[in-house]
Amino acid sequence: MQESEKREVVITGIGVVSPIGTGKENFCESLYEGKSGIDFITLFDASQFPTKFAGEAEGFDPETLLKGMDILRQTKDRRILLANGAARLAVDDVGLSIEEFSRGKCAAVMGSGVHPVIPEMEKIISSGIYSDMFDDPDPDPRKFEMACEREGSGENPFYPVFNRVNCGVLSIAYQHKISGPCYSVVSACAAATQAIGLSYQLIQRGESDIVLSGGYDSMIFNFGVYAFCLLELMSIHNDDPKKAVKPFDKKRDGFALGEGAGVLILEEKERAKKRGAKIYAKIAGYGSSVDAYKVTDPHPEGKGAVIAMEEALHDAKMEPSQIDYVNAHGTATPKNDRIETMAIKEVFGKHAYNIPVSSTKSMIGHLMAAGGALELIATVLGMDNGFIPPTINYGNPDPDCDLDYVPNKARDVNIRTALSNSFGLGGQNASIIVSREG
């Protein structure tokens, strides 16, 4: 397809489940207030870990949010329920019926984390539920199908493992009768941003007219917290969790894990305009790269991050001077914040000092595979409501991080074009540019 033939893509629906609120209104209000969603972990006993706090989803009640949906009886998996909660909110926001989704050229593309399958496998081995099937020389496949329907009643520990990584996006497609492309992107902290970028390209090429896209994740379980403690990437300021995450601050010592889901409805622009849809923003450009350096460290010169941002600008046919705001990856780790600052200055030159840069992670924590979706939503809601989300807990300038980080308070300003970064473990990088319509 020629460049001139590529279709324009807009955002027409938003669904949020986050540590600072469920629903776009609550999320937006908390962003403006600079609210921290970080507190001591309640989902399990974390008292023996070096980091005892995280950002648990606030106001998330699956029994209420997903009332009447089959997913409630199909699984108790928290991640899948988070994903479906955000999807339902996004579908309600866009104002399309399930029949309209099922009739159109619709797709679902979600970023997902690696699910904690080991505990479920242990349950299977110890339960003996399927021993008769495994021992039967001529097993009846209907027994397996029937077993997969019993998980909601607690009788079947196997269902959460089946197609585990893509269960979230599959369940969303099933609940909303979406029969087009259905993809799960697993690329660590860049997963949601890459999922949204791929969705944007599906619509550009004419393969889909509307896509449910975003990401979901929760690493707030025993092994998840333990693993990141071993990597020494998380803050250990247990005396005051709400002030622990300090992106770009000289005293930063790491992030807090967060959990949640963000789903955006992407739609072909003319289709959206024809039906009178609210348009939050236009997806203007997307870029992706890999450092090809180390699994646990970003490239010391930020080369992959530079490529992703430059590719997004090239795709958008924009000059660096046209970007009004950058929502940074901003993990509050000593290396990431310094290297991301370096990469921004490499891409934007002198203009970097004129661009507000902030980290939503200071409020919601690091949501891993869901992070890019929530951070892009924060950017879009800020654009739609005339403010830039702040970097809270900022008080000690770092000479190596010398940009405008919108410290502590939201900034009332109208921005037309913004870039959102997601840089993941393993060197996965993705950047998306959004612009206001009209």
Judged against a pLDDT cut of 50, whether residue 125 lies above it is answered with no
Task: Give the mean pLDDT of the chain.
Answer: 90
Judged against a pLDDT cut of 90, whether residue 242 lies above it is answered with yes
DSSP-derived letter for residue 4 is G
Per-residue pLDDT band for 1 (boundaries 50, 70, 90) equals low
Judged against a pLDDT cut of 90, whether residue 400 lies above it is answered with yes
Give the residue-averaged pLDDT of 181-205: 96
Angle of helix 78-94 relative to helix 167-175, nearest 10 degrees?
40
Judged against a pLDDT cut of 70, whether residue 155 lies above it is answered with no
Options 28, 189, 229, 401, the catalytic residue: 189
Per-residue pLDDT band for 398 (boundaries 50, 70, 90) equals very high
User: What is the pLDDT, as a whole number, of residue 75?
Assistant: 82
Give the residue-averaged pLDDT of 387-413: 98
Question: What is this structure's pTM?
Answer: 0.91
Tokens of 160: 């959460």
User: What is the pLDDT, as a whole number, of residue 210?
Assistant: 96
User: ∠ CA 377-15-383 to the nearest 5 degrees?
Assistant: 30
Per-residue pLDDT band for 139 (boundaries 50, 70, 90) equals low
Helix segments in 349-425, DSSP class H: 361-364, 371-385
User: What is the pLDDT, as a whole number, of residue 437?
Assistant: 79
Give the residue-averaged pLDDT of 143-149: 53
User: What is the pLDDT, as a whole number, of residue 152?
Assistant: 47
User: What is the pLDDT, as a whole number, of residue 134?
Assistant: 47
Of the listed ranges 99-108, 111-120, 186-195, the one predicted with least confidence: 111-120
| CA–CA dist 77, 74 (Å, integer) | 9
Give the residue-averaged pLDDT of 219-243: 93
Options 115, 237, 299, 366, the catalytic residue: 366
User: What is the pLDDT, as a whole number, of residue 184?
Assistant: 94
User: What is the pLDDT, as a whole number, of residue 297?
Assistant: 82
Higher local confidence (pLDDT), 385 or 227: 385
Judged against a pLDDT cut of 50, whether residue 146 lies above it is answered with yes
Of the listed ranges 8-17, 21-30, 67-76, 115-124, the one predicted with least confidence: 115-124
Per-residue pLDDT tens digits for 287-340: 999 999 888 788 999 999 999 999 999 999 999 999 999 999 999 999 999 999
Give the residue-averaged pLDDT of 180-185: 94
Per-residue pLDDT tens digits for 61-95: 999 999 999 888 888 889 999 999 999 999 999 99
Q: Which fold has domain 9-118+162-435?
A: Peroxisomal Thiolase; Chain A, domain 1 (3.40.47)
Judged against a pLDDT cut of 60, whether residue 397 lies above it is answered with yes
Higher local confidence (pLDDT), 366 or 437: 366
| CA–CA dist 303, 307 (Å, integer) | 6
**What amino acid is encoded at 62 in this protein?**
P
State CA 87 to chain mean position distance: 13
Higher local confidence (pLDDT), 138 or 68: 68
What percentage of residues in the chain have a pLDDT greater than 70? 87
Helix segments in 176-302, DSSP class H: 191-204, 222-231, 269-274
User: What is the pLDDT, as a whole number, of residue 296?
Assistant: 77
User: What is the pLDDT, as a whole number, of residue 369?
Assistant: 96
Higher local confidence (pLDDT), 28 or 120: 28
**Closest alpha carbon to 22 in 55, 57, 66:** 57
What beta strand segments (E) does 77-209 contain? Answer: 106-112, 182-185
Active site (annotated) includes residue 351: no
Options 28, 229, 329, 401, the catalytic residue: 329
Per-residue pLDDT band for 406 (boundaries 50, 70, 90) equals very high
Which residues lie below 8 Å from residue 386, measured CB to CB, with a gap of 6+?
412, 413, 414
Write out the H or E segment, with its range, that includes residue 286: strand 281-290
User: What is the pLDDT, as a whole number, of residue 251?
Assistant: 97
Of the listed ranges 87-96, 149-158, 369-378, the one predicted with least confidence: 149-158
User: What is the pLDDT, as a whole number, of residue 57?
Assistant: 97
Active site (annotated) includes residue 115: no
